[in-house]
Every structure is written in structure tokens, then in C-alpha cells.
Structure 1
């Protein structure tokens, strides 16, 4: 991989040299911080619940307040990066995420903790799309971009390895507030590296900030996620929210259609079957995996099978295989083709989830660990190529928008996965039976998305 290129600065600025390895290290540190921030929370859910005497349906908001804000503001974050500069928005997101993590650690009440988690979601909504958009511009050639995205995706797996393990140890030794401090060194390092390393890229492409569209889109996404989360506990409120989501999203579509190519989200993107297929497959994959990360540690701890530290260590096979396989995904795509690599990865997860559900309660952890390892392989095969398909299907001017949309799909899938599979878990009585039912449902969704990926994504 060539380490230095000449890349255009924003607007009419002259070309600036880009050190690719430094850029990739900076971006990887940032996404590692954002994903660790999510991963550590799953291990802290039960201790937080005990500390604040909170029920499972309330505890979901410790996870989903982050996800709701992240999903709702991703579109705005991506557009701001395109218009104002990806480096500037990247730095803003890193600073907000750092401050929010500190606020979580110092939260005196569950309400303040949930609000701080929501603010962390804002930071991630600025940070992650900017990092993907920078990759799209710095690596314009598909082969180089695929390698960079494979490494970028591996950081998600590394976060799954570091987050639960470090989180479990920190919780047992220092208590749950300290778990939110884990990400602070990572975000601080990403800021310090970004200042001299990241070039500035901006490309308005005739677009501008459209307040009406942003408000309608954010309200629609937030209301949709809220309705999903509250469907079991407060069905009336969920129904009202669902109606509001449909209305807000209809207004959003009407506004965007009237603006054409100047829209925040040009609707012609969705006429691209490859892009739409990547969106659907990504949502389905995270639907199942975030359900696993929420429910499996909760089940192990609530049944007395494992404590927080042991549960974090038990998740390691999934995370380590994700880390090891992700950098190889570009090579797999070259040999197998995009469609087969992604579909096979999602199908592996579909088969592994029921194995997790039925294997976790057994006295011998080996069956559950083998199933977790298969999910890691599946995610490693699919994650990087899915991101590459999404951002590669559009022009560089729309890189931030495409990065935002694929992450909207990822986070909507994650949030609905926690909500729906959490509801299945509760309806089945929780514990081992609830986990088995939830994982069976999650596996069915994954299988459907593997089929969608096969029929919609390019063979090569």
C-alpha cells in the first residue's frame, strides 16, 4: 500500500500530502473508542441495575439512549462532514465522546447516566461517518480501500475483545462508574494524532444544511427506535411513537424528493440495488449480534453462571476471530466474490445464534464458545466488505452521506435487535429459556438477510 498520496483539500485549497498509515491509525483509534464505549456498557448493565434498583426494561435505555441518538443524528453528522470538512467533524465527535464518557462515570442518578449516554451517541454520530468518509477519499482505488476497511472493521472486533474483558475486570475491581473511563485514553489519543495527521476534505456538491429535512429525519428515526424499545413495556406510547415515525419519515421523503440532487439524502441512492442490499444486510447482521452482546452476559450473570469478568472473557472467541478474519476479508472477496463472502458470513452467524442460545446454559461452555467463534468469523467476513460496498457505490462527494446511511442501518438494526430480542427474552421468562428463544429468533432474521445479500449484491 502506498503510504503517501496527494489529496485535494477543501474547496479551492491546494493539494496536501496524506500519510495513509498515520491516517488509518488515527481513524482506527477513534472507531475503537466508539465501539469499546458500546461494548463495555453491556457488561455494566447488571451492576448498574443493582446499584440503581432498575428493571430490565429501564436498563435497556442505558444501551439504547446511545443508539437512538446515534441513529437519529447520523444523517446530520455525515452531511456536516461533507459540507464543513470531515476532519473538523471527526475532531468534534471525538471531543464530545470524551466529555460524555466522563459524565457517565460521574453520573449520580440513572436519568443523568442515560442522558450522558445519549450525548455519547451524538459524539459517535459525528465521529464514525467522518472516519468512513475519510477512508473513501484517501483510498479512492477499490483494492486499497478494501484493505483499509478490513483493518478498520477489525477494530470493531478488537473492541469486542478489549471492551468486555477490560470492562469486567474494571467493574469487579473499581465498580461500574470506572468502566466509562476506559475509552478516554483512546479518544484523547485520536484527537492528538488527528491534529497533525488528518487532512481536511469537504465537498458540498451543491448541497446545504436543510434544517427541515434534518429535523424530520432525526425525529422519524428517533420515534421509530423509541417505538421498538417501548413496544412491550408501554404499547400505547409505542403505537403513538410509531405513527409519529411514519409521519415524520413521510415528510422527510417529501422534502428530499423536492430537493433532488441537492437533498441531504438523495433518494436515487436507494434505486441502487447494491447499496440498498448492503443496507438491509448490515441491519440484519447487527440485529442479531447486538442482541447477543446484550442478552448473553445478562443471562450468564443473572443465573449465577459467570460473574462480569468471566462473562467478558467468555466473549473473547467471538471478538478474536472477528479481529483475525477482518483484515483478510479483502483477500476472501477477491477469491470468492463479494456476494459469496458476505452471504456466507451472515449465514454463519445465522447458524451460530441458536447454538449460543442452547449452549450457554450447559455446564460445559465449549458448545457456546464454538458458536461464538463462528459468529466472529461471520462478522469478520461480512463487515468490511459491506462497508466497502456501501461507500464504493457512490461518488466521493456523497461519501459522508453513504457512510451515514450504512451506519443508520447498523444502529437501527442494533437498537431493534436489543429491543425485539430483549422482548422475546422477557416473554419467554428470561434466563436460559428466554435466551434460547431470543437467539432462535435472531438466527431466523440473519438467515433472511443472508438471502437478501445473495440476491442483491454483486458477484464480484
Structure 2
């Protein structure tokens, strides 16, 4: 998830010691694992959090989205800060902030403190994760070694997201929901310790200037959109507070576009988004995570509140998704090499839509075999689409903008995840009339999953129609 434009600008000579580079790889992968696992592991802890800290479904949505909003909003600025002030330095600061936020979450006596900790975690992830690829590019200057390092990074990124629910379920079941945050502390400290001597420092001498106004407007706009979707029913859709926030949802993006047009080095160069493959990849990425992240949150509630499973049982129930995504991800590169990105992206989005559709039709009371089949199909689709969607973004721009394109693709992923959790949770709550189990809950889950699969199928159509043909894409 790097936004570094020229990660190799300050690369050491090819004689750099490989053991040192290996330690660098371990340090960056540890931090990456922290950020990725935390994104999905928290889902299985939601019923336990509700039991201990109270709060309705809206509160649980914020437990997930407080992290997602902050993470998404700071991705691009985090990369720029690393380019200007040192990637190793920002990596360390990000890991330290993430550990601080995790500690606050683990010690939270109530929901407000937990949400503040989640915001802090998101800020730390937004600083540390954009540096990881740039640091690896510096530590592994040889093309062959770099490709191997990037492959390891990609495997950790994909597997971290996929196995998060299972690992989180194990932690919650054995040690309580606080443990999913406590476990971040020793891992983060280990990553920090490894950076003290072994991780090289690098900067981009041509780094873009900061865009503070654009950053503030991006945070406010994304937060307001999420707030309206999550809190609209509780406040009243026509209440003055909701209508004021809706006005902010319109004014915020307009002000952001105006600010970006005037800034000489905008956070998001708007000409890049007007045409070409980059906006296509961003749309597909947002559709992908919209369906998956909302589905993961609702599935955790379904297993524990409707089917009476434990947190570990909920995590194990989603294990086929993790296994399929992890096992098949390395094979996707061969498909892209042979056929170009259109085929795996279209098939991947269609598979995710099909899996969620089977889940929606079968319902929460379906047989376990049907549900596990649906999750496996979703995992296959996730494996097919995750790598190519970023690859299309990076290949769509000049080499010096590759890091920025990667950051934009990942920004779209987190934006889709944020909206997916907010929209699907709210749709389910409305359709279920607030029920947490029983027939109304099952009905609400079906409606929410129908929204999710519709968005996934829309992403498949966009991929098939607009991703460049195999020859030109390859």
C-alpha cells in the first residue's frame, strides 16, 4: 500500500548485505500483518464488545469503520510524509502509534475510548503501511531479490486479511476480546526493535509537497458520509442534524475537488482520475471490498447471534474463505501473465458476487456445507481480483507515479470497505427492524447480502467492459 513515487531513488548499492535485507523484510511484514489482520479480526469480537461495552449495531459499525475511515484518509499523506522526512522514520512512528492505539483499545472501559483507540490504530496504519513497499524497494535493489520480497509482502497482505477472522476468533474465545488488541503490542515492539539497526533510511528528493487542506477535507468528507449512513436512522433521516450532515456530504467533496485543482502538488492529481485504467481499477477495488468487508461483519453476527456459535466457531466458519484466498493468490499472477488482468478480475468479481448470492438465498439457517461452499467461492474470487486490481492501477501510469497509483487503488479499497460496513449494516438493521436474531434478523441479513452481491456483480461488469484487453494490458 505504498504511495512512494520513486522508492528506489535512495536505494543502496547491490552489495547491500542480504541478511540485513532479510531482517528488513521481516520487520515490514510484521507491521503489514498487524494492519491487515486487525482490519478483519475485529469482526468476530463484535458480539463480545456489545455484551461488555453496550451499544447497538451502529456502535459496532463504528468499531470497524473508525479504523477504516482514518486508515483510508491518511494513506496518501502517509506516503508523502515518508518520502519527505524518511520512510524508516515514518514507519517507526506509525508502528508506535498503532501499538499505542491497540493498548488503548485493550484497556477501553467503554465504547468512546475503544473508538478513540481504533482511530489511533487507523492513523498508525496510515503512516506505517505506505512505507513498507518503498522500504523493501530500497533494501532489495536487485530485480530478482526484489521480486521475491514483493511476493512475500503480497502473500502476507492477502493472508493477513483472509485469516484475520479465524485468528481473531481463537483469541476472543480463549483470552477475551481485548486479546485481539493486546497481541498487537509484542508484534509491534518486535517490528520496532528490528528497525533500530537493520532497516535502511531513504527519502525521495523529488517528493511532493504536503496538501494539508486536501487531507482535512478528505477526512471530513469520508467521516460525514459514513456518519450519515450509520447514524441516520437513529437520529432520524429528516432531523436537522442528519440534514446538516447530508449538506456536508455534498459540500465536502466539492470543496475537496476545488482545493485539489488549486494546489500545485495535490494529494490526488485529478487528471489521473478522468480517464484510463486507473479510475477503472479504483471502481473495481471499491466494489470488491464493499461486498467483502460488510459481509464479514454481518457473518460474524450471524454465526454468534443467530446460530449460537462461539467466537472461535465463527472464525472457523469463515476459514474456507481464508484458505481459498491464501492458496490461490500466488497462482493469479500466472493467469495475468497468460491472459491479462481482465479475465481474472472479471471472474474474481463474478465469483465473489455468486458466493454472496448463494449465501443470501440460502440464508442464515442454511446447512453448514452450503455456507462453506459460498465462502469458498468468495475466497476464490478474492484471490483472483486482489493482485490484478492493484497491478492495473500501477501499469496505468508512468513509472514515477506507480507508488501514487498503488496508493489510490488501496484508498479505493478502504473507501469501499468503509461504505460496505456502513451501508450493509444499516440496511440489515432497517430490514430486521433492529432484531439481533430470529426471523427478522434472517430477513435483514438476506436484504443486506443482496445489496452486497449486486455491487460485486456491478464490479464484474465494469471489469469486463473497461479493463484493457489482454494484449494491451499485458
The two structures have a TM-score, normalised by structure 2, of 0.87
8 Å CA contact 1:133–1:399 kept in 2: the answer is no
CA–CA distance in structure 1, aligned partners of residues 146 and 272 of structure 2: 20
- Alpha-carbon distance in 1 for matches of 2:446, 2:300: 14
Report the secondary structure of 1:232's partner residue: helix
> In the aligned structure 1, how far is the partner of 2:63 from the partner of 2:219?
20
2:467 aligned residue? 457
Matched, 1:240 2:244: yes
Give 1:403's aligned residue.
Answer: 406
The gaps in structure 1 that reach 5 residues or longer are 1-5
Give the structure 1 partner of residue 175 of structure 2.
Answer: 174
- Which residues in structure 2 correspond to 1:64-213 (within 5 Å)? 64-134=65-135, 151-160=152-161, 162-203=163-204, 205=206, 207-213=208-214
Aligned partner of 1:359 in structure 2 is: 362
How far did residue 119 of structure 1 move? 0.5
Distance 1:450 1:32, change over 3 A: same
Question: 1:198, CA displacement in angstroms?
Answer: 3.5
Contact 2:260 2:269 in 1 (8 A): yes
Aligned-pair CA distance for 1:348: 0.6
Instruction: Note if contact 1:354-1:436 (Cα within 8 Å) is conserved in structure 2.
Output: no
Query: Which residue pairs with 1:255 in the alignment?
Result: 259
Q: 1:78 to 1:272 in 2, by over 3 A?
A: farther
After superposition, the Cα gap between the structure-2 partners of 1:174 and 1:420, relative to the gap in structure 1 and judged at 3 Å, is same
Tell me, in whole angstroms, the C-alpha distance in 1 between the residues paired with 2:270 and 2:144.
Answer: 28
CA gap 1:137/1:42 in 2 versus in 1, 3 angstroms: same
The equivalent of 1:3 in structure 2 is none
Partner of 2:3: none
> CA offset at residue 102 of structure 1?
1.2
Cα 1:206–1:298 shift into 2, 3 Å: closer
Is the Cα contact below 8 Å between 1:152 and 1:384 reproduced in 2?
Answer: no
Per-residue CA deviation, residues 2-38 of structure 1 (Å, 9 max, x unaligned), is xxxx95428xx98883856554443332221112112
Using the TM superposition, give the Cα deviation of residue 196 of structure 1 relative to its aligned residue in structure 2, in angstroms: 4.1
The offset of 1:70, in angstroms, is: 1.5
Query: More deviation in 247-256 or 156-165?
Result: 156-165
Q: For 2:178, what is the secondary structure of its paired residue?
A: helix
* Alignment RMSD (CA, Å): 2.8
Q: Tell me the CA shift for residue 334 of structure 1.
A: 0.7
* 8 Å Cα contact 1:8/1:15 also seen in 2: no
Structure 2 partner of 1:61: 62
Q: Which residue of 1 aligns with 2:451?
A: 441
Shift of 1:287: 0.2
Say which SS state the counterpart of residue 374 (structure 1) adopts: helix
Choose the corresponding residue for 2:422, options 405, 419, 441. Answer: 419
Tell me how far apart the structure 2 counterparts of residues 384 and 304 of structure 1 sit (CA, whole Å).
34
- In structure 2, relative to structure 1, the CA distance for the partners of 1:136 and 1:258 (3 Å cut) is farther
Change over 3 Å in CA distance of 1:444–1:377 after alignment to 2: same
Q: Does 1:328 align with 2:331?
A: yes
Per-residue deviation, 1:250:
2.1
1:163-192 per-residue CA deviation (whole Å, 9 max, x = no partner) reads: 322322322232222221122333233333
Partner of 1:50: 51
Structure 1 Cα separation of the partners of residues 414 and 161 of structure 2: 16
- Deviation of 1:100 after TM superposition, in Å, equals 0.8
TM-aligned CA distance change 1:14 to 1:247, over 3 Å: farther
Q: In 2, Cα distance between the equivalents of 1:18 and 1:198? A: 11
Counterpart secondary structure, 2:344: helix
Q: What residue in structure 2 maps to residue 388 of structure 1?
A: 391
TM-score, L = length of structure 1:
0.89
- CA deviation digits over 1:308-348, x for unaligned, max 9? 11011111100111111112221121122111111111111
**Range that drifts further, 53-62 or 223-232:** 223-232
Cα displacement string for residues 369-403 of structure 1 (whole angstroms, at most 9, x for unaligned residues): 01101111111111112122223433454444333
How is 1:250-289 mapped onto 2 (pairs within 5 angstroms)? 250-260=254-264, 262-289=265-292
